[in-house]
Structure 1
Amino acid sequence: MADIHPLNDRWPELLPYEKQSLISPGPGKPGHSAVYPHITLDDGRTFTHLAQIFERGLRVAGPNAPYIGYRPAVSTNPLKFADHFIWSTWGEVAKRRLDVGGGIENLFSSGDAVKANGLETVGLWSANTPEWRIVDLALPLYGKVVVPLYENFGPDSIEYIINHSDLSVIFVQPQNVSTLLSLSPKLPTLKTIITLGEIPEAARKIADAWGKECGIKILTLNEVEAIGAKTSLPPPPVTADTIATICYTSGTTGNPKGAVLTQGALAAATYSNLSGWDLPPDATPVMLSYLPLAHIFGRTLELNVTATGGLIGYSTGSPLHLLEDLQVLKPNTLPAVPRVLNRIYQAIAANLHAPGLKGVLFRRGVAAKLERLKQTGDHTHPFWDKLVFNKVRAIIGGRVDLVGSGSAPLNPEVLDFLRVALVCNLIQGYGMTENCGTCTRPFPRDPTAAGTVGWPQPVNEIKLIDVPSMGYSVLDKPCPRGEICVRGANCFSEYYKNPEATKETIDEEGWVHTGDVGLIDEVGRFKIIDRVKNIMKLSQGEYVALERIENVYAACPVVQQIYVHGDSLQSYLIAIVIPDPVILGKIASEVWKKSVGEKDLRTLDEAVKDEKIVKAVLDMLTKDGVRYGLKGYEFAKRLYLTNELFSTENNCLTPTMKVRRKVVQERYKAELDALYALGEPTWSTTLSKL
């Protein structure tokens, strides 16, 4: 990969761990830190637009090598998938992207799709599939603007985004055709629906007739490809400034904002991410795609694999089959988010309490490997891996070498534990939709990186600015603190049709104000410590960052989901916890002196109402809070337990699985009020030790 970035061929044996960021010459403005660029000061890029990324992968892999694949279903009742992937080659995908792109170009030429506000926008509403990747390769090739929609978006969000982005044509899975036709009276711009799979003959006749009544044409992907193959329209010229996508953020409040990202921005992010692509020499990247491709994190990772000529296997889409997908594909590269990694951690960490020889060996192995990790940064161990951890590693396929975590902070203790238990390089980077998910990442093998997000990426420069209302200053000692601002070729240009929000986020010098509060440690690594907006003040004047506290508690084995709540008229925090059914069953069994299983739903519903069980859960959270250094006023003092999960269906979660705080607060208003009505507890066995 020398033609992408000089550090990709071989990282030096000794990296400059003691000086991971440079400081640009000259003082910063008052209230602003100095500017921190990437340590290599490398602003050269291999890619300027997206077609070059695919073309490089094709050149590296060759036209006959496998590229994208899926596991076919072999049974629907019960649902069962094949023990292998079916692959499309690079050459096959190269032809299909031309045919799909040419077919869409023909639709715009014929009037079955129309340009609006100077853009030819095309929607893509689907789960992760090989067809998603083909369409996303084809549309930018022909200068079209991809508008991805989350698979689990509800009708209101679908209606808003289609109208806001002026979509006249949209790719969907067959089961979503009826939803769009039902909404069609509210979708004046929509002219053509293209299904990513075939529609059964009887259903197709109904869809065609219904579509005709609505003035909407129904096509299949194969039909669009046939049009493209017949007309053979050549791709028009594109540049780095050609808009590639409008990526709608699934915000926790209000309507989503559409971040406009150019082909140059995505190309710069891909180049930047490949700096530090730390796989073994000569390893071809193999990745399981399961994180939503409408989210920028999963999408940019697929571009990384594409640029290196790798393979992308698409998951079955069922959480129950995720581990099975991993064991069949055996990837060496795995994207992840804390909600997934916390569940894996909780499952593996249970072995720390295993009885007998098994528990002894596991505890000794973890201790030995953690000591080695903190001294050298090496997550392997010749003895303990062979004896214990290669079996654990087999859970996720047995070959994973690189796990990238994004979306939210991961507890440092969880990160280091998983590095040694899964025998992999687990790194936690930092980015957001507005910079193509690319901003900072740690050095490979940095022994003390846990809890930080590393150094600036090659195309980025970063600075901090004061947040006086929260007491953060760039003059703080020993570490400057403030809101993170980022600038670079990978940053977005505007929020679509939202100049007010654009002005609030991008200043006159081109700095993107992220809303995240960070610090710069003594060696130049960045650490996310807060959110500018997601804080509240308790009645005695203490500021608390609720999401940070939730991240601390999320690693506790009993927690499946959690919402920490504060009221500025109260002096303490409370929380709603959805407990893990396995752990809840164990707690109930101990309290009630009878066996309670994880599938005994009626008994578990009784358990969450038992005051003794609630107290046992609170004690577990409190002990974790003590261990991770929460301050006294940061502890949740009272809990409400429920077995009803936060979900996109009840609108408590965004499509990226973030808690909609206002929705949860309203939904559980009575329960939260009742907890505060009890008053602040006068004592706590664990808190009294603080």
Structure 2
Amino acid sequence: MNPYLVGLLVPILIAFIFRKTKSYKRRGLPVNSGGEPGYAVRNARFPSPIETAWEGVSTISGLFEISCKKYSSNHFLGSRDLISTETEVTADGRSFEKLHLGDYQWVSYGEVFDAVLTFSSGLAKLGHKKGERAAIFADTRAEWLIALQGCFRRNITVVTIYSSLGEEALCHSLNETEVTTVICGHKELKKLLDISGQLVSVKRVICIDDAGISNGVSSEDRNTNWTTASFSEVKRLGRENPAEADLPASSDIAVIMYTSGSTGLPKGVMMSHGNILATVSAVISIVPDIGVKDIYLAYLPLAHILELVAENAMVAMGVGIGYGSPLTLTDTSNKIKRGTRGDASALRPTVMTAVPAILDRVRDGVRKKVSAKGRFSKKLFDIAYGRKLSAINGSWLGAWALEKTLWDFLVFKKVRAILGGRVRFLLSGGAPLSGDTQRFINISLGAAIGQGYGLTETCAGGTFSEADDISIGRVGAPLPCSFIKLIDWPEGGYLTSDSPMPRGEVVIGGPNVTAGYFKNEEKTREVYKVDEKGMRWFCTGDIGQFHPDGCLEIIDRKKDIVKLQHGEYVSLGKVEAALIASPYVDSIMVHADPFQSFCVALVVASPPALEAWAHQRGLPFADLPDLCRKREATTEVLSSLIKVGKSARLEKFEVPPRVKLLAEPWTPESGLVTAALKIKREVIKKTFSGDLAELYSSSG
């Protein structure tokens, strides 16, 4: 054979064999779990579940202290000053507040630790007694983390509450836990004043914003049963009256975290210091090399377990944390004044955490910008994207190293600038991430995505996809703190004996599994189990399947399955996850009625995509609500859903033949989605009951 031909073919053959071998690298290892029958898997790289990664450290407060001392002079917490605000009025008369924000100002690990000590001592001087609980009811910011760690140094259990929580759920959370001290922002203080007559245990309120006190709120609360102090005043009291720490044990409850309440009133999950530490320890053993040179952009709610674990993991590795918000994230975000840099541009982070809804919006925003630049730019982007996609998928005809660098410089550099240009690792969790979005972020942002699976009840611990796993649609092997077991669910047709992969309800065990629900023994007994070896297991209600290499894929959800009139089963969550890939869809809720033979959907339209289509067709419309009422728009969206559903291999009965287009976005403030942007199915059904009834009764 021609030696030149051999020289060409051998490297290709070796690369092909290597790729095939790598794709079946053992990540999860079956084990004898004990307890109920089931298919249990642990991480193959670790001989036993990790409880702590640091000798002698058994609590989150202990981890915080050693990090602050180790990285004392390093940048720790960064915040932006508010320079000014202004109000913009749109053509239809709606007004929006716009912010002009300054550069990030940093405080060191040593300075933050001093602030924690003074705040902790200030709590004691203010009158917070041992055994009483405190609540943090505020947006994510530096003071949130300082308050949390200050409470931990007095072994105070912290109740975390979403700042977007409604009045009923807020009252329920504070009264059920008998909170005596609430730490909040100015706008949250106003919410507390509105329900002050319904709060039975609150004795003191600490307002993070000094402006909240100076602007007259303190005089408004004269008719309440609490006293009000500013955050800075509490720290001053602590400086003048230092108190000895009362440090917690591993088994002490660190946090009672109220879920966002996607169904009914929120439940309080009791997390010990050991629970949270186990997940943090597991995460840092899996994530790529992250350290003191990295910068993390924090903008998700710290009242969500994903963000709480992520920030504590950053603390463990000496990373600087810069605070932002979803509404000021990019240069074009809703609350950013024109000409002002968004948080990502100002901070230029290297590490971020994101929920899929945020990544979907980044993807849609990039596609919109590319399309707006004209046919040539779009063609160039498509070629570059296609070449890099081929390379990721293992094609030897895909882009080679120098070519990939060229495409990055010519095409993707501007895309990456949206998030500051330096992001190299993204942690995604909170909901399923579509394969399309995962690949788009991989290619256009050049960032690895670690997709995790876990729940509040497991301190976000469950599974995590490792950096060298290029597959999509899976959530990785078990974290080193977790065992994952599948349990048969015959009613849904999912069995651990299924071929080619075992399937069943996902059950998570390990030191990260929490103690249960606060004051809710009945629900705790229903979903928490303890086996004969003493291990706690949590029954998730999610349906998963294990791949041959030990990685988990979530394929269904027990409570989302509805049986139609003719016996077909529709998994609402699965259908929604597939159909949201339509460019016209910003949010979607599929509804199935057991007395009907088809399902329907409420679709929150994506304004850029739908308006661009209407302009292209020459379809006249006054505004987005007017466009959503037009039959032509509904027909176009339906056509797109059918196409996307076919591509996702949905059955014909799973794709809704009737939809209602909505113009108003679903936000946490409206109460229709959670803080993690998951839809509140029951609330939406109640809010749009008339529209759903109309869809079923219409002739199509």
What TM-score does the superposition give when structure 2 sets the normalisation length? 0.88
Measured after TM superposition, the shift of residue 355 of structure 1 is: 4.5
Measured after TM superposition, the shift of residue 529 of structure 1 is: 0.8
2:576 counterpart of 1:574: no
The one of 268, 276, 282 aligned to 1:266? 276
The one of 287, 304, 324 aligned to 1:315? 324
Distance 1:180 1:244 in 2: 24
User: What does residue 613 of structure 1 align with?
Assistant: 633
Measured after TM superposition, the shift of residue 171 of structure 1 is: 0.5
Measured after TM superposition, the shift of residue 593 of structure 1 is: 4.5
Contact 2:292 2:320 in 1 (8 A): no
2:439 counterpart of 1:416: yes
Cα 1:619–1:471 change in 2 (3 A) is same
Deviation by residue 1:569-610 (Cα, 9 ceiling, x = unmatched)? 11111111111112221222244445x6xxxxx432222122
User: What does residue 519 of structure 2 align with?
Assistant: 497
Cα 1:38–1:227 change in 2 (3 A) is farther
Q: Which amino acid aligns with 1:348?
A: V
Distance 2:504 2:448 in 1: 29
Q: Which amino acid aligns with 2:649?
A: G
Measured after TM superposition, the shift of residue 378 of structure 1 is: 11
2:99 counterpart of 1:89: no
2:93 counterpart of 1:54: no
User: What does residue 7 of structure 1 align with?
Assistant: none
Measured after TM superposition, the shift of residue 201 of structure 1 is: 6.6
The one of 117, 141, 159 aligned to 1:129? 141
The one of 273, 279, 293 aligned to 1:284? 293
Cα 1:530–1:379 change in 2 (3 A) is farther
Distance 1:578 1:561 in 2: 5
Distance 2:66 2:357 in 1: 34
User: What does residue 18 of structure 2 align with?
Assistant: none
Deviation by residue 1:14-56 (Cα, 9 ceiling, x = unmatched)? 97842111111489854x2244345322445224101232233
Distance 1:222 1:82 in 2: 22
Structure 2 residue ranges without an equivalent (≥5)? 1-20, 88-97
Measured after TM superposition, the shift of residue 394 of structure 1 is: 1.2
2:468 counterpart of 1:453: no
Aligned residues: 648
Distance 2:427 2:481 in 1: 19
Cα 1:221–1:625 change in 2 (3 A) is same
Distance 1:548 1:211 in 2: 48
User: What does residue 406 of structure 1 align with?
Assistant: 429
1:11-160 equivalences under 5 Å are 17-25=24-32, 30=37, 32-44=38-50, 45=52, 46=54, 47-61=57-71, 63-77=72-86, 79-107=98-126, 112-114=127-129, 119-160=131-172
Cα 1:316–1:530 change in 2 (3 A) is closer
User: What does residue 469 of structure 1 align with?
Assistant: 491
Q: Which amino acid aligns with 2:241?
A: T
Measured after TM superposition, the shift of residue 76 of structure 1 is: 1.5
Secondary structure at the aligned position of 2:311 is classed as helix
Cα 1:195–1:27 change in 2 (3 A) is closer
> What RMSD over aligned residues (CA atoms) do the two structures have, in Å?
2.3
1:129-278 equivalences under 5 Å are 129-199=141-211, 203-204=215-216, 207-208=218-219, 210-278=220-288
Q: Which amino acid aligns with 1:293?
A: L
Secondary structure at the aligned position of 1:670 is classed as helix
1:455-604 equivalences under 5 Å are 455-509=477-531, 510-593=536-619, 602-604=622-624
Stretch moving more, 475-484 or 322-331? 322-331
Q: Which amino acid aligns with 1:290?
A: Y
Stretch moving more, 652-661 or 343-352? 343-352
User: What does residue 94 of structure 2 align with?
Assistant: none
Contact 1:53 1:307 in 2 (8 A): yes
Contact 1:285 1:308 in 2 (8 A): no
Distance 1:59 1:407 in 2: 32
Measured after TM superposition, the shift of residue 120 of structure 1 is: 2.5
Deviation by residue 1:470-513 (Cα, 9 ceiling, x = unmatched)? 10000000111111111111111111100001101111322111
Secondary structure at the aligned position of 1:259 is classed as strand
Cα 1:165–1:74 change in 2 (3 A) is same
Contact 2:599 2:656 in 1 (8 A): yes
User: What does residue 431 of structure 1 align with?
Assistant: 454
User: What does residue 657 of structure 1 align with?
Assistant: 677
Distance 1:650 1:80 in 2: 22
User: What does residue 360 of structure 2 align with?
Assistant: 342
Distance 1:183 1:386 in 2: 55
Distance 1:174 1:249 in 2: 23
What TM-score does the superposition give when structure 1 sets the normalisation length? 0.89
Q: Which amino acid aligns with 2:268?
A: G
Q: Which amino acid aligns with 1:652?
A: L
Distance 1:137 1:202 in 2: 26
Deviation by residue 1:267-320 (Cα, 9 ceiling, x = unmatched)? 11111111222147x662311111111111111110011111111111156342
Structure 1 residue ranges without an equivalent (≥5)? 1-13, 597-601, 682-690
The one of 375, 382, 385 aligned to 1:366? 385
Measured after TM superposition, the shift of residue 176 of structure 1 is: 2.9
Distance 1:386 1:106 in 2: 58
Distance 1:28 1:48 in 2: 27
Contact 1:392 1:421 in 2 (8 A): yes
Cα 1:67–1:81 change in 2 (3 A) is farther
Cα 1:265–1:16 change in 2 (3 A) is farther
Deviation by residue 1:381-433 (Cα, 9 ceiling, x = unmatched)? 32321222122111110100001111110111220121011100012110110
User: What does residue 686 of structure 1 align with?
Assistant: none
Contact 1:194 1:219 in 2 (8 A): yes
Contact 1:141 1:235 in 2 (8 A): yes
Cα 1:615–1:120 change in 2 (3 A) is same
The one of 304, 308, 314 aligned to 1:299? 308
Stretch moving more, 358-367 or 539-548? 358-367
Contact 1:265 1:490 in 2 (8 A): yes
Q: Which amino acid aligns with 2:286?
A: G
Contact 2:297 2:347 in 1 (8 A): yes
Contact 2:185 2:212 in 1 (8 A): no
Secondary structure at the aligned position of 1:636 is classed as coil
Contact 1:24 1:37 in 2 (8 A): no
Measured after TM superposition, the shift of residue 123 of structure 1 is: 0.6
Q: Which amino acid aligns with 1:226?
A: R
Deviation by residue 1:604-647 (Cα, 9 ceiling, x = unmatched)? 22221221221011111111111111111111111111212223
Cα 1:89–1:36 change in 2 (3 A) is closer
Stretch moving more, 545-554 or 496-505? 545-554
Distance 1:151 1:511 in 2: 30
Q: Which amino acid aligns with 1:169?
A: T
Q: Which amino acid aligns with 1:305?
A: M
Deviation by residue 1:134-193 (Cα, 9 ceiling, x = unmatched)? 111111122011111111112212111110111011101123334323422211111001
Secondary structure at the aligned position of 1:252 is classed as coil
